[in-house]
Amino acid sequence: MYKFNLQVILGYLDLLPFAVGMTLLISVQTIVLSLILGMAGALCRLSDNLLLRFLAAAYVELFRNIPVLVLIYIVFFGMAQIGLRVSNYYSGLIALTLNATAYMTEIFRGGLIVIPRGQYLAGQSQGMTQLQLFRHVILPQVVRIVYTPIGNQFIAIVIGSSLSAVIGVEEVANWMFSVGNDTFRYMESFLVAGLVYVAMAQTINFCRIILGRLLMRAPGSR
């Protein structure tokens, strides 16, 4: 009978903080890039230019429907073949960002689309520049709408970053694979890694709820 034994993998636990750091690094970079690109994508989807609208819509449909794992293989193996050698970390980052941008675009589009057209006209009639209008009128409202779905997308990105393990980025899932292969304690390494991911996801969830209560009150209810 298999004896459950965490003792064996204790020696590998001091490698875990580095792995967690790697997961957080690739996740945070993906989050920052996909927030910027997603906002740009959403503006394209709602632009007056037909070509921009079509390109952004095509991008979203394409990258939402291809598994991230396949994207990672395309960037890592495929690009190398046509002469563009991308390191494993950047392959993971590019693939994750391509995928997350598609989702962020849809989230921001959902936020922008509910702002009535009259507000743009009202802002313009006050002599606001496009940037001022966006910064002081549109964005504060959009942030409230997209707040919860973006929080969920952050979790999806952290969870999705585990896929970069298959091309050897040394993050938590990779830690799990190597500990399992070294010690044959697959069950234990699975439980530890699972726990780490649950902790990370629930921390984001918790911060989202607390921050939301502090910052997202409707104006005038304070």
Partner 1 sequence: MTTSLIDFWPVLLRGVATTLWISWLGLILGGVLGAIIGMAAGSRSRVLRASAFVYTELFRSIPPLILFFGCFYGISFGFKVDLSPFTSATIALALEASAFMAGVVSAGIGSVGRGQWEAAQASGMKFWQIMRYVIGPQALRVMLPPTVGVYIGTLKDSSLASVIGFVELTKAGLLVREASGASFQVFLVVGVLYFIINYSISLGGAALERKFHIAK
Which is closer to partner 1, CB of 43 or CB of 69? 69
Q: Is 7 in the site for partner 1 (CB under 8 A)?
A: no
Q: How many residues bind partner 1 (CB under 8 A)?
A: 45
DSSP state, 84?
-
Q: Is 56 in the site for partner 1 (CB under 8 A)?
A: no
DSSP state, 87?
-
Name the maximum alpha-carbon separation found in the chain: 77
10, 80, 209, 216: which one contacts partner 1 (CB under 8 A)?
80
| Of 39, 15, 35, residue with least CA distance to 157 | 35
Which is closer to partner 1, CB of 81 or CB of 125? 81
Cα–Cα dist 6/85, whole Å = 40
Q: Is 134 in the site for partner 1 (CB under 8 A)?
A: no
Q: Is 166 in the site for partner 1 (CB under 8 A)?
A: yes
CB 99 within 8 A of CB 26: no
Cα–Cα dist 222/220, whole Å = 6
- Which residues sit at the interface with partner 1, rule CB under 8 A? 1-2, 4, 61-62, 64-71, 73-74, 77-82, 155, 159-160, 162-163, 165-166, 173, 176-177, 180, 184-187, 190-191, 193-194, 197-198, 200-202
